[in-house]
Chains A and B, each alone.
Chain A
């Protein structure tokens, strides 16, 4: 501890005791209010900017480490470095070209290549359209479930809960949506598809309710319960995949029948691209979560519970109910993520459905810093990573797993802001900065 830390609670706004003797000058309240807002606005801008800078630097640092890993694991760069004494320039050139090619492929695989866009705008052909916009479409398709699950975890975060049960809730949503989607034939799209989505929400709600009610009524820690429920859900999926309802006629290969066409999410950009309504659902969910948190009494209650159980209880909040509700809503969003996956992306249930989405969502919620807008940006980034990573693997010899490493290293830097500050020599000054470091460093 430094002496400076011990000046107790004398924030920028508090006046010395001497000033408390006489009441404030009766000044026009309008101007006073304006001044107050001005100061507060400046402070929150500084904090916001700091967070943004730290996030960007974390991502950048992770990409640098990713580049270094590429160089030390690639046989041609290693060979070039072995000839370093005789040809130092060659080692750098080989390394540079590998990194540039890999990250170039990551970029063109996620947002597209300029030449393809130029080609489409000059020819206007449907084939050129598909080639040009396929990377963006893939990014958005990958973003949708990540965004939904990331929002789910953010909602729980806000109520002070760690929902590690993303995988189980996604699986529950996928099973329920899948069951409705592949059994109820002869329904029109306008009924079947929404029904399947609702079923997915219901599955997620149940899977979220279990840890929620256990935490609220018995105090069982939600992290333990949700982790364990993930295994339950994985094995439930194995069981479900053995049921005749899900299997193709005579099939025993643990891959379900595909979802009926009437339950599939409609495509948005023609049959040549996978882009479908899932991204619209996810975007609507982001708006809904933002609204819930800042403009409803439920959101205020969640934030109060997340801020302090004791204060919330003294303010008359029924904490068990709030916790259960937060977990159910979080589960619904995860269930919706599972539903849009099976109704729009990979329409057959298989073992380990959803894969890492539930865990990646955790990183996204962390990167999004508890703000729905931040979660949208983080989900887009990770959607781009997934779509571009495939392209990177195809066009260079860099494996897709490197993307996972980069994602993990991002988390590492995000949770160690002191390290990022040390690397980039960012000085910690003013009250706002210290607040931030308390938030993440404590």
Chain B
């Protein structure tokens, strides 16, 4: 199977070949053009020039329907499933098997199809389960089965491990290997180097729309791949000294926070963060970490429990009061809660300080002070933008996050809450953000980092708390074996280590 691309716009003159029966990693930072390239393959976008060859013949893929007919299947980063349908209904959607007479749906045949694929590749799914009740890992299996039922020979997986636990990731890799055994090809899009080394046969690295290298796991190393992705040497783990914890700054007792559907997102959680230390909260997405961070900043109402900052009760305070008490907040969704996208970079650098000097005196608001502040923040935080008056939406993700960080750092902080601080950021920006978080710690602030990335948790956390179903299922340190943390993330075997490590 051969696919060739001539010069493209977002993807610039890329040649990319997948052989039958291989797992091929497509590696690159955000915006490197990986997803664009694959979307062209899947018929979602059209190449401006260049051609796609399948088994030596030129293929015209005008739509996903064409791609499916050419036996190309894709599992998107965000699943394309109907939540209220059953697994079987989702799998057959768009290619419904019908009985010969009357055109009725043939559910029995659908089930048989699913069972056949599940048997063959170790992808066990219950055809009658409703998709919205399934864990993320199983939903992903449904997506893969969906592609296989359509007789895909080339399966494109776009960042498939982003939302999975380590155990689920292993299961996925197992399935990928059995697909390879049966002669199918898998394209594995990712920016996680460890996974690439673990499972793939060949690696193509992309940077800024071009292919910068093609190699195999045997012939390379993680650090070599990283510098290919970024175009320079990368420090993996930011060097940090040992923490020197002081008195407790944040104390949370029996915190109860509701989720959107009225359930308990945070269910009687207690934790303490000391000054001068980073407590990293690990956990699979959706175990209450988001709600915990928002509740601590006063953005989500607490049902019961206590939040204290240096002994002062902050339970039920508004974000305004929490911020004034000395808490910084880096929200999980920076584009929604962290920034006003239509505002200029300069205005975003002082959003929460708009009503105090030097930006305001009484009712009067000073655009000049806004500009002056922005000029100094630009230099200090190395924000790359042509102008402080540019809308912040024109900045790259990494620079947007630097804007949020620069703003939160511009007032004295006793506690910094950082929720998914490097989600979606490239390696270079991640390094800068991590360094800043450690600087905040070293200056004596308490830092609470919430992250679903185990690498980040291990790189930053002086102590690690693992959250599972709204509670802390156990504590760990960066020396704890990954497998054990993985088990805690899955809610297994936490009792022994439940005591907070000092």
Contact = CB atoms under 8 A, between A and B. Distances in A.
A19 B426 CA distance: 13
Interface string B227-239: 0001111000000
Interface in B291-350: 297, 299, 318-321, 323-324, 329, 331, 333, 336-343, 347
Contacts of A11: 385-386, 390, 393-396
Given A29-B375, A294-B367, A311 B338 contact: yes
B128 interface: no
A427 interface: no
Nearest to B361: A297
Interface in B381-402: 382, 384-391, 393-400
A304 interface: yes
A51 to B, nearest CB: 15
B30 to A, nearest CB: 7
A162 interface: no
Contacts of A8: 30-31, 396-397
Nearest to A4: B9
Interface in A266-318: 294-301, 303-304, 307-308, 310-318
B295 to A, nearest CB: 13
A17 interface: yes
Contacts of A435: 391, 393-394
Contacts of A41: 389
A13 interface: yes
Contacts of B375: 29, 33
Interface string B349-374: 00110110000100111110000000
Given A6-B45, A40-B390, A307-B343, A300 B395 contact: no
A307 B329 contact: no
Interface in A36-56: 36-37, 39-41, 43-44
A301 B365 CA distance: 11
Contacts of A19: 384
A295 B364 contact: yes
B454 interface: no
Interface in A84-106: none
A313 B333 CA distance: 14
Most A-side CB within 10 Å, residue of B10, B48, B339, B387: B387
Nearest to B363: A296
Contacts of A298: 363
Interface residues on B, range: 35 or more
B8 interface: yes
B341 A307 contact: yes
Contacts of B386: 11-13, 36, 39-40, 43
B11 interface: yes
Nearest to B427: A17
Contacts of B268: none
Most A-side CB within 10 Å, residue of B339, B384, B395: B384
Contact of B319 (A1, A18, A300, A316): A316
Contacts of A16: 208, 231
Interface stretch (B32-40, B106-114, B198-206, B468-476): B32-40
B384 A315 contact: no
Contacts of A2: 9, 45
Contact of B384 (A14, A307, A312, A314): A14
A1 B36 CA distance: 11
B65 interface: no
Interface stretch (A20-28, A391-399, A416-424): A20-28
A304 B352 CA distance: 10
A310 B336 contact: yes
Given A13-B394, A36-B387, A40-B390, A6 B35 contact: yes
Contacts of A316: 318-321, 323-324, 352
B299 A314 contact: yes
Given A15-B384, A314-B338, A9 B299 contact: no
Contacts of A24: 379, 382
A1 B45 contact: yes
Contact of B387 (A13, A296, A301): A13
Contacts of B115: none
B85 to A, nearest CB: 26
B27 to A, nearest CB: 14
Nearest to B339: A311
B395 A13 contact: yes
A164 B99 CA distance: 54
Contacts of B207: 17
A274 B343 CA distance: 43
Interface residues of A, number: 54
A10 B31 contact: yes
Given A3-B9, A20-B382, A297-B365, A304 B354 contact: yes
Interface in B202-220: 207-209
A308 B351 CA distance: 11
Nearest to A17: B428
Contacts of B351: 304, 311-312, 315
Nearest to A435: B391
Given A13-B385, A297-B354, A311-B351, A3 B46 contact: yes
Most A-side CB within 10 Å, residue of B11, B340, B341, B400: B340
Contact of B337 (A20, A310, A431): A310
Nearest to B29: A17
A9 B397 contact: yes
B10 A4 contact: yes
A315 B343 CA distance: 14
B314 to A, nearest CB: 14
B363 A13 contact: no
Contacts of B48: 3
A8 B29 CA distance: 11
Contacts of B9: 2-4, 7
Contacts of A15: 384
B439 to A, nearest CB: 15
A40 B389 contact: yes
Nearest to A16: B208
A18 B207 CA distance: 10
Contacts of B399: 14
Nearest to A39: B386
B47 interface: yes
B10 A314 contact: no
B491 to A, nearest CB: 30
A297 B355 contact: yes
Contacts of A294: 365, 367
B134 to A, nearest CB: 29
Contacts of B388: 36, 40
A298 B354 CA distance: 10
A216 to B, nearest CB: 15
B429 interface: yes
Nearest to A438: B393
B320 to A, nearest CB: 3
Interface in A312-359: 312-318
A107 B207 CA distance: 60
Interface in B1-31: 8-11, 29-31
A337 B232 CA distance: 63
A40 B341 contact: no
Nearest to A22: B232
A33 to B, nearest CB: 6
A122 to B, nearest CB: 50
A318 B365 contact: no
B297 A13 contact: no
Contact of A17 (B318, B329, B340, B426): B426
Nearest to B329: A314
A52 B400 CA distance: 30
A299 B36 contact: no
5 contacts: A3-B40, A17-B427, A20-B398, A300-B347, A308-B342
What 8 A-B pairs have minimum CB-CB distances, sorted nearest first?
Answer: A13-B386, A40-B387, A11-B394, A316-B320, A307-B340, A315-B352, A40-B389, A315-B351
Interface of A: 1-4, 6-21, 23-24, 29, 33, 36-37, 39-41, 43-44, 294-301, 303-304, 307-308, 310-318, 431, 435
